[in-house]
Amino acid sequence: MVTHICQLLHDDLWPQGLGSNPMSVTLKVTANLNFFVSGSFHGSTEDLCSISQLTTHKCTQELTDVLFRRAQQFIQFRLDPESQAARELGFAAISGFLEVQVTAHVALRASWQQPVTFMFHSWRMQLICDYRRQILHVCAWFPGSSHNAYILTNSQVPHVFGRLQSWLLGGKGHPQKTWLMTPVHHLQCAADESYNAAHASTRPMIEQMISLLRMMFRCLDHSGTVLQYSL
């Protein structure tokens, strides 16, 4: 996988300058994977790769920008009939629902420049995954103080699902829509109980996916550290 990433990003990361000792693509990729996976700041990467902290910082910025530009090659919400049918069958095998959606937080270093906007010094992400826990959509443009309903309304999701014959599953912080199914708060009959049970059995898919992300990329795990980068 590391070799594949190096080959994929080779043209983007190939040294363009005339420095006497430019970093190779392999070193750039492996140094940053170490940071993403360990969750520590640049000290450990600097020691492991024998490069300065400033170089590591610049390298991280470069690789992150490249990965961001490439992200849509791999994070795709396919709307063709075959993809929709596959997702439908996968979720139907669990409880009958089609998609799952939830939000997550990434803790950031406290920003003295924006103390009001970033009250909790975190960034809220809206994620959608399929029955295989594969990420289909990411919206990561809002500070941690933003409400789930606000993020949903201002994302691309309403435009997409407003014309699809399928549903998203959201938490109790999301508004009920014709395409967004949330738990029933006041149970009145057996059908409500059955619906909530199906909802509860499907929603853990996204929570498991987020747990896997935090395990693989410790830089996202605010319990161990804080992401040491500006937005």
- pLDDT, tens digit only, all 231 positions of the chain: 899 999 999 999 887 655 555 788 998 898 888 888 876 655 555 666 667 777 777 888 888 899 989 988 888 888 888 888 888 888 888 877 755 666 666 766 665 555 555 455 677 888 888 888 888 888 888 887 888 888 888 888 888 877 777 778 888 778 888 888 888 888 999 999 988 888 888 888 888 888 888 888 887 765 555 665 655
In the three-class reduction of DSSP (H, G, I as helix; E, B as strand; rest coil), residue 62 is classed as helix
pLDDT of residue 201: 85
**Cβ–Cβ < 8 Å for 206, 199:** no
**Alpha helices by DSSP H, 93-173:** 148-153, 157-161
Residue with tokens 């996202």: 220
Amino acid letter, residue 164: L
pLDDT of residue 22: 74
pLDDT of residue 125: 84
pLDDT of residue 120: 52
pLDDT of residue 18: 55
- In this prediction the pTM is 0.75
pLDDT of residue 61: 85
